[in-house]
Amino acid sequence: MDNIILEEIRVKTKIGITKEERARPRDVLVNVEIFLDLQKAGRSDDLADTIDYRDVLKLVNLLLVEKEFVLIESVAETIAQEVLRDFPTNKVITHV
């Protein structure tokens, strides 16, 4: 199994235990590791045979801009679940 790692995605999100902490968006850094077979894409050199990283970046940005979070664990889980749902992979690791 191969993997694609997107590192240090900087996104603003509302996060914090208290309502006051969540009042203003703040920067978080996100790393997303997506596991999939890259053999076909490696041979074909065709974007259609892999995951377009831009789509993952858009998803992460959209999720974090639109939602409000109390826990950093919730940020990581939300990203992982949405990547699993939207992309051809069955394993994702997120670091926030």
Region of residue 12 (phi > 0: left; psi between -120 and 50: alpha; otherwise: beta) = beta
Three-state SS string over 40-68 comes to HHHHHCCHHHCCCHHHHHHHHHHHHHHCE
Q: pLDDT tens for residues 37-81? A: 999 999 999 999 999 999 999 999 999 999 999 999 999 999 999
In the chain, domain spans: 2-95
Read off the pTM: 0.91
The structure tokens listed for 55 are: 């789509």
On whether the 2-95 domain is CATH 3.30.1240.10, my answer is no
Q: How far apart are CA 22 and CA 59, in angstroms?
A: 21
* Spatial distance between the Cα atoms of 43 and 38, rounded to a whole number of angstroms: 9
